[in-house]
Structure 1
Amino acid sequence: MASDAAAFDPASATIAVVTFNRSGLLTRLLESIVVMDPKPGHVVIIDNASVDDTTEVVESFRARLGTELVYRRLDTNTGGSGGFSEGMRVAYELGSTWMWLMDDDVEVLPDGLAKMGKWAPRFKSIQGRRYDYDGSEFYWQYRIAERMGIPIPFAPASFDESGFKPMNSGCFEGMFIHRDIVTQVGLPDPRFFIYWDDQVYGWLASRKTRSVIVDEFVLRRTREIKQWDMGVRHMNASSNAYRYYIMRNRAIIKRYYRALDVYSPLLFGLGTALTFGKELIRLFFVERTVRGTSNLFRGLRDGRTIARDRSWQPMPALETV
């Protein structure tokens, strides 16, 4: 792909980072961007109203980063969903052709942007790979069972000689997406707050273009998470907030499915039941507790309010705004 690489202009890309009270992790990410080669045209930092020294940390990198830094501190914590929606909005308004989204708990490999750029002439919705905290190859569930609205845990992990696999999902920890697709899909939906937002956005993108995951390691996780090692797969620990939104946000997915005429009550209900069961397994086998189940039920209850809201509409395409 050597000739293709020349067609990608790194300056046309913007890295958009969402952070919240994790200045130490953000420092590691920004240090990794300092040594990137090539660098993006812009780095956008969306600060979800942090109360630590995040502002000072960001400003300390302004002269070191080697590219234009845009810092937005929000008035309130809008969750990862609101942060990525704002980050994409800022990147889009900067005129970026490519938007590379990531949390603050990763670092970019020095040639990460060059690796993603190899694929930019061929695809417009691309997911790279990342190393886990311990250096192992992280497996991300890149395909969903569409009608159930849940990831397929046994989708093949290996790549063939093509170096890519079709996906119908998305992950904001490394999503690399073209502005043409953002124009058609619109911004990520901040109403999720956390969880399912990137899966839905990636799914929406896959309805507009051929989305792929590529066999390129471009990120490394810098935060250790408690896990249950199941061999080929891992199951991470969660939190009460995540448990609540995992179940509540099933109602938002249902609203998107209804709007796009892909909703199957039986299959989607099965997906919700499997999600509930998975969270129980996560509680019992990863976190070794039975406390937290009330958050699952509370999420289901509040989701019913969303399901009954007749004024609810999907996020609009930017070309209609």
Structure 2
Amino acid sequence: MPLPSHTPAATPFDPASATIAVVTFNRSSLLTRLLASIVAMDPKPGHVVIVDNASTDDTTAVVESFRERIGTEIVYTRLDTNTGGSGGFSEGMRIAYDLGSTWIWMMDDDVEVLPDGLARMGAWAPRFKSIQGRRYDYDGSEFYWQYRIAEPLAIPIPFAPAGFDESGYKEMNSGCFEGMFIHRDIVAQIGLPDPRFFIYWDDQMYGWLASRKTTAVIVDEFVLRRTREIKQWDMGIRHMNASSNAYRYYIMRNRGYIKQYYRSLGVYNPVLFGLGTALTFGKEIIRLLFVERTVRGTSNLFRGIRDGRRIAKDRSWKPMPPLPRLQP
């Protein structure tokens, strides 16, 4: 498929300078699909880093089965414990950075890469240093990702315009580890993703931090496809996905970490941030009622609020440190 006309004229982009960093946990069948899609990529990245969050299935065997046929180097790390998506992506980015990668492309194991995905992302590399591509949903529809946050509230704007103009990109102030394509210079400045989040809000925070250092964009390029079906509530122009008790807990608990980051950067407004927390709580109640059709699970929200308050009161807390700017 030829690149669209709005794609900027590319100065030379070396695919070997990019690393795909994948986090997986007990989903070897999904990981198989992702690795098979990388086999079909043209061009391919210089490395594929796979961080295994202490899987107990046949993940290791699956990875080994692809070493000879994937067409690029696999760097596989199996962690001793499950550190959540946050810990996995932090470790994956650290490995990719230490490999000297200029570009790091983050993704979960429940997507597959379109064959020309790296070429499409690389075409934007001369202009931007924090780039988000688009993806197709499980059913082939165009997935809408909430690419902007209301900064004082620290929550996504659910109805930010979905369309693109002739420029082919829109500025964003958020991030999603399901497709974030980021330059090592930005990683050096803001440090690694914060593993303390465990799950949820970690990529939004990381994208927000990146947008404070560079012009971050989402581009009108479909580069990924989701391979896992998730229960949804169809709201017409938007969808709301099902969640879990663990997600409900961390959604509320991790507001404490966001509050600490906001304070450290001098943007914390207690009234507006509190409103954002209340809206987040309300959204999770709606998710329980209309997506999962239950009232069970609210205790996890309250536990998260309680533990988030403890985190916000921790005077010893510090943000993730910057990294040494070594040349690749």
Compute the TM-score of the two structures, normalised by the length of structure 2: 0.96
Q: Alpha-carbon deviation of 1:308?
A: 1.4
1:172 equivalent to 2:181? Answer no
Match of 2:110 in 1: 105
1:136 deviation in Å?
Answer: 0.2
> Conserved in 1, the CA contact under 8 Å of 2:153 and 2:273?
yes
- Give the letter for the 1:264 counterpart: N
Of 235, 240, 248, the residue aligned with 1:235 is 240
The answer to whether residue 190 in structure 2 is matched with residue 185 in structure 1 is yes
Q: Deviation above 2 Å: which 4+ runs of structure 1?
A: 1-6
Alignment correspondent of 1:161: 166
Tell me how far apart the structure 1 counterparts of residues 135 and 8 of structure 2 sit (CA, whole Å): 25
- Provide the residue aligned with 2:85 in structure 1: 80
Shift of 1:55: 0.2
Structure-2 change in CA distance of 1:261 and 1:55 (3 Å): same
In the alignment, is residue 17 of structure 1 matched against residue 13 of structure 2? Answer: no
Aligned partner letter, 1:9: D
Matched residue, 2:276: 271
User: What residue is the counterpart of 1:208 in the other structure?
Assistant: 213
**Contact 2:7–2:168, Cα closer than 8 Å, also in 1:** no
Q: Secondary structure at the match of 1:25?
A: helix
Match of 1:120 in 2: 125
Alpha-carbon offset, residue 320 of structure 1? 8.5
SS of residue paired to 2:173: coil
The Cα of 1:2 is off from its aligned counterpart by: 7.7
**Which sections of structure 2, spanning at least 5 residues, go unmatched?**
1-5
- One-letter code aligned to 1:293: T
Separation in 1, partners of 2:306, 2:7: 53
Alignment of 1:1-321 (within 5 A): 4-319=9-324
Number of aligned residue pairs: 321
Query: In 2, distance between residues paired with 1:106 and 1:23?
Result: 12
Task: Normalising by structure 1, report the TM-score.
Answer: 0.99
Partners of 2:97 and 2:232 in 1: CA distance: 36
Alpha-carbon distance in 2 for matches of 1:157, 1:289: 31
The CA deviation string for residues 277-314 of structure 1, in whole angstroms up to 9 with x for no partner, is 00000000000000000000000001111111111000
What letter corresponds to residue 141 of structure 1 in structure 2?
Q
| 1:62-114 deviation digits (Å, cap 9, x = unpaired) | 00110010000000000000000000000000000000000000000000000
Cα distance between partner residues in 2 of 1:238 and 1:58: 28
Q: How far, CA to CA, are the matches of 1:11 and 1:266 in structure 2?
A: 47
For residues 166 and 232 of structure 2, what CA distance do their matches in structure 1 show?
31
Q: What is the distance in 1 between the residues matched to 2:236 and 2:102?
A: 39
Aligned counterparts of 2:122 and 2:188: Cα–Cα separation in 1: 20
In the TM superposition, residue 5 of structure 1 has moved relative to its aligned partner by: 2.9
Describe the superposition over 1:139-161 as per-residue Cα deviations: whole angstroms up to 9, x where unpaired: 00000000100000110000000
CA RMSD, Structure 1 to Structure 2 (Å): 1.2
Q: Which amino acid aligns with 2:127?
A: R
Partners of 2:9 and 2:17 in 1: CA distance? 15
Cα distance in 2 for residues equivalent to 1:124 and 1:3 = 14
Deviation at 1:3, TM superposition (A): 8.0
Q: How has the CA–CA distance of structure 1 residues 306 and 320 changed in structure 2, closer, same or farther, with 3 Å as cutoff?
A: farther
- 1:223-274 Cα offsets, whole Å, 9 max, x none, are 0000000111000000000000000000000000000000000000000000
Report the Cα distance in structure 2 between the residues aligned to 1:6 and 1:265, rounded to whole angstroms.
Answer: 45
Cα distance in 1, alignment partners of residues 172 and 8 from structure 2: 25
